[in-house]
Amino acid sequence: MKIFAERLLELRKEKGISQAKLAKQLEVSFSVVCYWETDRSEPTAPNLVKLADYFSVSVDYLLGRTDY
């Protein structure tokens, strides 16, 4: 899901954090975050919720269902 990868990268850069820091905050491996951002894998539902909460956005925004 290319839109998810793009939005995750954008949100992470806006927050000014590294992939390693995001991985630590979400309790996933660095490679998992890298795979998400390069559209090589997608997060599980629980991780998607963690991402939405961490960045204070909706799951729908992360998945490209809304632009808000």
pLDDT of residue 68: 82
Taking only the tens of pLDDT, the chain with its 68 residues reads: 799 999 999 999 999 999 999 999 999 999 999 999 999 999 999 999 999 999 999 999 999 999 98
Cβ(61)–Cβ(7) below 8 Å: yes
pLDDT of residue 1: 79
Torsion of CA 6, 21, 52, 12, to 10 degrees: -30
The phi and psi torsions of 7 (rounded to 5 degrees) equal: -70, -40
Domains (range + CATH), the chain? 2-61 (1.10.260.40)
> DSSP string covering the chain, please?
-HHHHHHHHHHHHHHT--HHHHHHHHT--HHHHHHHHTTS----HHHHHHHHHHHT--HHHHTTS---
- Whether this prediction's pTM lies above 0.85 is answered by yes
